[in-house]
Amino acid sequence: MQSQNNQYLQFVGKPHITAVIAGGRRRVNYTFEDKSELVEEYDINNHELITRKWKKLSNIKESQWVYEIGEAPIDQQSELKLSNTNPIFVRKDTPQHFQFRVRNLTYPEDVYQMEVDEKTQEIVIRTTNKKYFKRFAIPDMRRANLKLEQGKVTHVYKNNTLIVSYPKPDQILEREYQIRQEFDKLNKKKPKEGDLECVQQ
């Protein structure tokens, strides 16, 4: 998994990596020198990245998983406390784009505005009726030391969901291609549930 590993080295040191087949997904686990953890889950057939989540050490309270891609499962107790009308922000990429979805937005299609804050390198969503505001970064771009470009953010609105897209630069596309090639090689071995595919120190 060396092609995946490189993007994280400059931040938290060389990780210990394991990959296992679980629940029809290829689950890649990283444990870093500072004991923080990263999990990436890929569809075993098309190699789509479904989940990326981080857990950092905390001396104050038990660490929680923070989802960079995908959505945390909601247990029944939490679900009862949440309003189903609140906007829900989730990242779910496509092969060519970083993509972010904001569900439960009921405002007219023409009120949504997108821009890149070049100073903070964040994408900003706002509405002309001042009912919704959100700013967020793309961690992949920051890890690769790539800057967001004004004018490349696009959006569509349908079914009460705002879908915001940003095209993946060639550097990101090439890295993801290398990962898919590596997974294709692993799939030739016909992996099955529970298989441990690789371990790296």
Angstrom distance (rounded) from CA 129 to CA 192: 52
For 2-11, 31-40, 93-102, which range has the lowest pLDDT when averaged over its residues?
A: 2-11
Angstrom distance (rounded) from CA 135 to CA 54: 20
Query: Would you say 29 and 17 are in contact if contact means Cβ atoms under 8 Å apart?
Result: yes
More confident residue, 73 or 182: 182
pLDDT at position 60 over 80: no
pLDDT in tens, 121-171: 999 999 999 999 999 999 999 999 999 999 999 999 999 999 999 999 999
pLDDT at position 10 over 80: no
Helix (H) or strand (E) holding 26: strand 25-31
The whole-number pLDDT of residue 124 equals: 98
3-12, 73-82, 178-187, 189-198 — most confident range: 178-187
More confident residue, 196 or 201: 196
- Three-class SS of residue 6? helix
Query: Would you say 154 and 163 are in contact if contact means Cβ atoms under 8 Å apart?
Result: no
Percent of all residues in the chain with a pLDDT value above 70, rounded to a whole number: 84
The whole-number pLDDT of residue 148 equals: 98
pLDDT at position 1 over 60: no
Angstrom distance (rounded) from CA 43 to CA 23: 10
pLDDT at position 4 over 70: no
The whole-number pLDDT of residue 15 equals: 84
More confident residue, 81 or 26: 26
The whole-number pLDDT of residue 85 equals: 80
Angstrom distance (rounded) from CA 163 to CA 155: 5
pLDDT at position 56 over 90: no
Instruction: Categorize the per-residue pLDDT at 80 as very low, low, confident or very high, splitting at 50, 70 and 90.
Output: very low
Q: Are strands 25-31 and 49-55 parallel, antiparallel or unpaired?
A: unpaired
pLDDT at position 76 over 90: no
pLDDT at position 79 over 80: no
pLDDT at position 3 over 70: no
